[in-house]
Amino acid sequence: MRLELRYTENKDTYYLSVFTPDADLAPHDNLPLSERPEWLVDIVNLARLGDHFLEVHDPPPERILWFAVDSNFNLLDINIFGD
């Protein structure tokens, strides 16, 4: 199953929203960055290195990233809407 997700950061918290119907993944709302699961930290680090975060003109949030993973949380696509 392909899961489409939106990740946002604001100061020391993050949100992870799920945009796939019937996905078995609860959203993560307003949690400390230190509580991110390892798979998410890896994706965020890769996105930072590749400059894949969307530009935010009027924060918050400070960072926005759309991406897709498979059911094992392996990254399938960053910026699922294209360039």
Summarised one tens digit per residue, pLDDT across range 45-72 is 999 999 999 888 888 899 999 999 999 9
Tell me the whole-structure pTM to 2 decimals: 0.88
Pair 56, 65: CB distance under 8 Å: no
Confidence of residue 21 (pLDDT cuts 50, 70, 90): confident
Greatest pairwise CA separation for the chain in angstroms: 34
Two structure tokens written together for 44: 């965020």
